[in-house]
Amino acid sequence: MTSTQRIAFLKGHGTENDFVIVPDPDGRLELPAAAVARICDRRAGLGGDGVLRVVRSAAHPEARAMADEAEWFMDYRNGDGSIAEMCGNGVRVFARYLLHAGLVEAGEVTIATRAGVRRVHVAKTGHVTVSMGRAELPEESVVVTVGGRSWPARNVNMGNPHAVAFVEDLDHAGELRTVPPFSPAEVYPAGVNIEFVADRGPRHVAMRVHERGSGETRSCGTGACAVAVATARRDGADPAVTGTPVTYTVDVLGGSLSITELPDGTVEMTGPAVIVAEGTFDPEWLTAALA
């Protein structure tokens, strides 16, 4: 990149899990971790929980094999620049961007992610639904600790790792922004996203989340799916056994998500996905950030 080039960005969010979207269809832009962290910095950069780089699958080595199924690859990065397999709010916002940019028609859209191809239903307005694949619930027992308190947690994998802890009161998780929770490195050698869950009513819970690589965020889509499945099992509900879908409303700090587990084990998530703004990076700022 030379300092004369103008690189576009957009800002979007899903239940206030916010992202900087960087269209890079031909995969020309190197985005080192430090540059992503700079872009996501809420004071010195644009600010965001993560970056969604929009690349043609055929132009990205990690997505080439999915190019026949999904034209676009979501190259997701956490706010600290680390790479994650999947982002549930991000994939809805990504689909909203593709429609906004005229790159897809409204309706069914397939998107390549590091966790595989995801099918998304995006209409011209309104909520976006994504089929998130199956949850895996390994049997390892996990304990989550924050601020001197510990809880048993359920290990759930939604393409990315989660530890789901049920608490009586979400405030018991303390000040997650300043006191990050801890979970066993033997179970999660690559780190973990940690959700704290409290009951709100029948098939209705609320959660707070501390995300690997981003800290406490106002929402996590994969986390909400992990929470819904863990709560269903706690409540004795398993659609694979009963043949009946189970839907949970999961309140997050930034809104509400509806999560349905189907009898075939796949999990569908529905929620908002909003494009807020678009612009261009200052070339000198970006050149320095990329250096």
Ligand X SMILES: N[C@@H](CCC[C@H](N)C(=O)O)C(=O)O
Q: Which stretch binds ligand X (CB under 6 A): 110-118, 123-131, 141-149, 211-219?
A: 211-219
Query: Is 212 known to sit in a ligand binding site?
Result: yes
User: C-beta of 244: minimal distance to ligand X in Å?
Assistant: 26
Nearest approach in angstroms of CB 34 to ligand X is 17
Helix, coil or strand: residue 233: helix
CA–CA dist 243, 86 (Å, integer): 27
List, in order, residues 6 or more apart from 37 with CB less than 8 Å away: 79, 80, 81
* Close Cβ partners of 236 (under 8 Å, ≥ 6 residues apart): none
Look up residue 5 and give its DSSP letter.
P
Q: What DSSP designation does 103 have?
A: S
Residues in CB range of 13: below 8 A, 6 or more apart: 19, 89, 93, 254, 273, 274, 276
Return the number of the residue (35 or 220) whose C-beta is nearest ligand X: 220
Q: What is the distance between the alpha carbons of residues 266 and 249, in angstroms, rounded to a whole number?
A: 17
Asked whether position 157 contacts ligand X by CB under 6 A, the answer is: no
176 vs 146: CA distance, rounded Å: 8
Catalytic residue of the set 35, 39, 87, 246: 87
* Residues 64-83 within binding reach of ligand X (CB under 6 A): 78
Out of 24, 75, 211, 216, the residue judged to bind ligand X by CB under 6 A: 211
- CB of residue 47 to ligand X, shortest distance in Å: 15
Q: Is 85 annotated as a binding residue?
A: no
Best CA proximity match to 271, nearest among 36, 87, 52, 1: 87
Q: Confirm or reject binding of residue 133 to ligand X (CB under 6 A).
A: no
Mark the segment that binds ligand X (CB under 6 A) among 173-181, 213-221, 247-255, 259-267: 213-221
DSSP H or E stretch at residue 232: helix 221-234
CB of 258 to ligand X, least distance (A): 14
- Catalytic site residue from 70, 220, 226, 257: 220
Residue 40 known to be catalytic: no
| Residue 216-235 contact track with ligand X, rule CB under 6 A, x = bound | -x--xxxx------------
Q: How distant is the alpha carbon of residue 78 from its chain centre?
A: 9
Specify the stretch interacting with ligand X by CB under 6 A; choose among 55-63, 93-101, 144-152, 205-213: 205-213
Comparing C-alpha atoms, which of 74, 8, 7, 18 is closest to residue 41?
18
Site for ligand X contains 88 (CB under 6 A): yes
Q: Is 193 annotated as a binding residue?
A: yes
Binding-site residue numbers for substrate are: 17, 78, 88-89, 160, 193, 211-212, 221-222
Q: Which residues form the interface with ligand X (CB under 6 A)? A: 17, 78, 84, 87-90, 160, 193, 211-214, 217, 220-223
List the catalytic residues: 87, 220
